[in-house]
Amino acid sequence: MNGAAARRKARDTFFSLIGTRPVVMGIVNVTPDSFSDGGLFDAPEAALAQAKKLVAEGADIVDVGAESTRPGHTPVPAEEEWARLAPVLARLVESAGAPVSVDTYKAETARRALAAGVCVVNDVWGLQRDPGMSDVVAEAGAGVVVMHNRESADPGLDIVADMLRFFERSLDIARKAGVSERHVALDPGIGFGKTREQNYAALRAIPVLLRLGFPLLIGVSRKSLFKDLPSGTMDGRLVGTLAANLHAAMAGAQIFRVHDVSEHKAAFAVLQILRGGAATS
C-alpha cells in the first residue's frame, strides 16, 4: 500500500468510528513547554512509548503537537516545529497502532506531516491563520479538525454567535479548497480566546453547534478551567475534565481529545451502560 492509500485508510478508520461511540484522541506533546506534559515526551523514544501506552489504553487516534498553544505561549517557527516532529512522526505512523493526527496551524508543517503518513490535521486556528492550510489538506485528501479561536477574550461577546460565524467562514474556506465535508470535525476551542464563563457557555452550546452538521471534538483535558474546583484528595483537573466530557457526550459531542485515556474509556463505558447499551471497546 502506497503512502497516499495508507493515509486514506487511516483517515477512514478514524472517521468511521464517529457516531458509533465516544471516540478518544490521545495527546502526545513533543514540546518543552506544554502546560500539562511539557518536556515529558519530546524525546522520540518517550513519545513513541507514550503513544503506544495511550493506544493500549484505548485511544482511537494519537494527536501529536510540537508547539504549545497554552495562554501566553511562545510561538515556534515552522522549521523548529518540524525539527521537533520529524524524528517522531514516521515512527508513530508505523508503530503506534492507531491513526495519527498532527496539531499545527502552519501549512508547511502540515504538508510535511501528511507526507510522513499523518491522516488528520488538527488546526487550532480553523484554517484561518495560514492561507495555505486548506489547500494542503485538500490536496492530501486529509481529515481536518477546525477549531474556534480568538486573539483575546472579550467578556461582552456573544461567544456562541461568534463561534457560528467563525465556523461558517472556516467551512467556506474548506469548501472552496475542495476539502471533503465527510472528513471535517469542529472544535469549540475551550480555553482559547474565551473567559471562564464563555468556556462554560461553549460547552452548553454543543446542541447548537451540532446543527451545523459536523461532528464535534471537545478538548478540555486538564485545562485551567478546572484548576480551582474542590476535589478532596483527587486531581481537580481530571475530575473536571471527566465531568465536562461526560456532559459533552450526553449533549452529542463525538470526539474527545484527552491526556488520560484509560479514565475516559472507563467513564464512557459506564455512560454507555446507563444509557441502555452494552459497553463498547
Q: How far is CA 35 from CA 76, 124, 141, 189, 224, in A?
A: 15, 16, 32, 16, 9
In terms of pTM, does the model score above 0.85?
Answer: yes
Instruction: Look up 257 and say whether it is catalytic.
Output: yes
Fold of domain 3-14+24-268: TIM Barrel (3.20.20)
Neighbour tally for 129: CB within 10 Å = 13
**What pLDDT is attached to residue 72?**
60
SS3 assignment, position 40: coil
52 is catalytic: no
Q: Which amino acid, 270?
A: V
205 contacts 160 by C-beta, under 8 angstroms: yes
The residue from 8, 223, 237, 265 that is catalytic is: 223
Report the distance separating Cα 70 and Cα 170, nearest Å. 22
Domain ranges of the chain: 3-14+24-268
Catalytic residue among 11, 194, 257, 265: 257
Q: Cα Rg for the chain, rounded, in angstroms?
A: 17
Q: What is the pLDDT along the chain (281 residues), one digit of tens a residue?
A: 788 999 999 999 999 999 999 999 999 999 874 445 444 556 788 899 999 999 999 999 999 999 977 666 678 899 999 999 999 999 999 999 999 999 999 999 999 999 999 999 999 999 999 999 999 999 999 999 999 999 999 999 999 999 999 999 999 999 999 999 999 999 999 999 999 999 999 999 999 999 999 999 999 998 888 877 765 444 668 889 999 999 999 999 999 999 999 999 999 999 999 998 766 66
Decide: helix, strand or coil at residue 61: strand
